[in-house]
Chains A and B, each alone.
Chain A
Amino acid sequence: MTEFDVRKFSQFNNMIDFLSNWFPFNTSVLPSMLKASLVTLGMAFLGSFAGLLVALPVSLLAAKNTAGPFYGAVRIGLSFVRSIPEIVLGLMFLTIVGPGPFAATIAIIVHNASVLSKLIAELIEAADKGPQEAMKAVGARPLIGALFSIFPQIWPNVLSHYFYRFEVAIRTSLMLGLVGGGGIGQQLFVHFKTFQYQTVAVDVMLIMIIVIVVDFLGSRVRQNVM
């Protein structure tokens, strides 16, 4: 099905030929590619962070213990949005608002809002009931009770989910770059198509650095909030 065929690897020296084209690195593009990397980083950060901001209130409506009468509708709506692949969302917004990072960012926001809403709703449902009952007992209004008794306990997990989504959003924004969403992903695609392999090498290196750095920061943050 995947056309797997070991014989295709027999042309191994082709690969070496191909990789040798990557050297020497075209360092003259470094400044502008750095800028493109920042755009990608920005898309991923803004997209996932705005997604988190949307998800926080929505998750309260999507958790059984805090939801109002619209629990079912909210859950179904979230599943629906979540089932749309990000690339489809990206293509959709690219046609609506035109090519560039803006469309890609909106796609990332929409997707992450729906994913984080579900994840946070599950944390809310699993939160210790004791403090929630205590807030009821002091006569706090339901919203205040939920905010203060649930969020402090789940906050480390929320951040941990958020950082994971941020890491994923970087990969997504690279991919959305390929279809015209801007950033280093788009540059990589263009350089590849125009056979500028020495520039491709710079792009790939920058992408690897971003992923590693964000990964590292994510694990640091996760450790510190516990």
Chain B
Amino acid sequence: MSCNDALLIVENGCVRYQHAESYALNHVSLTFQRGEFVCILGKTGAGKSTFIRTLNGLQALTEGNITYNGRSFQTLDREGLRRQRKKMGMIFQHHQLIPRLTVLQNVYTGLFGSRSTIRNMAGLFDESEKRLVRDVVEQVELLPHLNKRVDLLSGGQRQRVGIARALAQSPDVFLGDEPVASLDPGTANRIFQLLRRLHEERNLLTIINVHDVKLAKRYASRIVALKEGRVVFDDRPEALTGEIEDMLYES
């Protein structure tokens, strides 16, 4: 693939939190293309969350730059960043759904970025938006629970609501910050199967943090490993040897 296919480019990305002595993210340069399913590995504190949050601007880089769809984050103000972000769906470890609202209501919030404040406030949705929301709920197999409050769902179901909310954004990019870390292995596998299927159907760029190496090897097309904020591995899953794994997780 040529460089023109690059969807998301990180150049010399650094993050240094206030009062921190070292870099949480240390001169990271990576290029991501559409169609890649990337898993980010690294032990706790390696900078995975920091990295994933810089990709949609939830966390600003303190040095370096990110370019998404040919637009540099550096040149964007808050509103400009918001516009970029609305095409990047994100799922979280603790799903971060809105409690007390139903599955349907939570999925509707995925549309908020692309609609006017007035229409959002009034809860006005046109037919195509209603269809879109129903479709994505169907894709995550939650139609039977459409009007259930999300606090009454199981962990796996909640994560599927999180995925549906991100899908409602009609995203080009899917970001995940340890989305299966609180789920049992079976459920985690099913969530990854779902993500992989959606990824292929929609030809997305998917970048997900995981701490389970087996999951990464099984589903990723590319694995990036971080250690102390630096990229120490970036290759196809087959290239990740036991020795590299040991190096990653040693203390």
Contact = CB atoms under 8 A, between A and B. Distances in A.
Contacts of B117: 141, 143-144
A143 B110 CA distance: 15
Specify the main secondary structure of chain A where it touches its partner: helix
Interface string B114-148: 10010011000000000000000000000000000
Interface in A106-134: 128, 130-131, 133-134
Nearest to B166: A138
A216 interface: no
Nearest to B119: A144
A101 B76 CA distance: 55
A149 B98 CA distance: 6
B120 A140 contact: yes
Contacts of A155: 100
Specify the main secondary structure of chain B where it touches its partner: mixed
A95 to B, nearest CB: 40
A222 B100 CA distance: 15
B100 A152 contact: yes
Contact of A138 (B95, B99, B101, B109): B109
Contacts of A145: 112
A128 B92 CA distance: 14
A152 B113 CA distance: 19
B109 A148 contact: yes
B222 interface: no
A135 B89 CA distance: 11
B90 interface: yes
A99 B220 CA distance: 76
Contacts of B199: none
A153 B110 CA distance: 18
Nearest to B94: A130
Contacts, number: 76
A68 B243 CA distance: 52
Contacts of A128: 99
B169 interface: yes
Given A138-B109, A138-B112, A148-B109, A153 B82 contact: no
A133 B98 contact: no
Nearest to A129: B96
A140 B98 contact: no
Contact of A137 (B85, B94, B101, B121): B85
Contacts of B90: 134, 137-138
8 contacts: A134-B97, A134-B98, A136-B85, A138-B113, A139-B85, A148-B109, A148-B120, A152-B101
Interface of B: 56, 58, 82-83, 85-90, 92, 94-101, 109-110, 112-114, 117, 120-121, 162, 165-166, 169
Given A130-B92, A138-B166, A140-B120, 13 more contacts: A128-B99, A130-B95, A131-B97, A134-B165, A138-B85, A138-B89, A138-B169, A139-B82, A140-B112, A149-B98, A152-B98, A153-B100, A155-B100
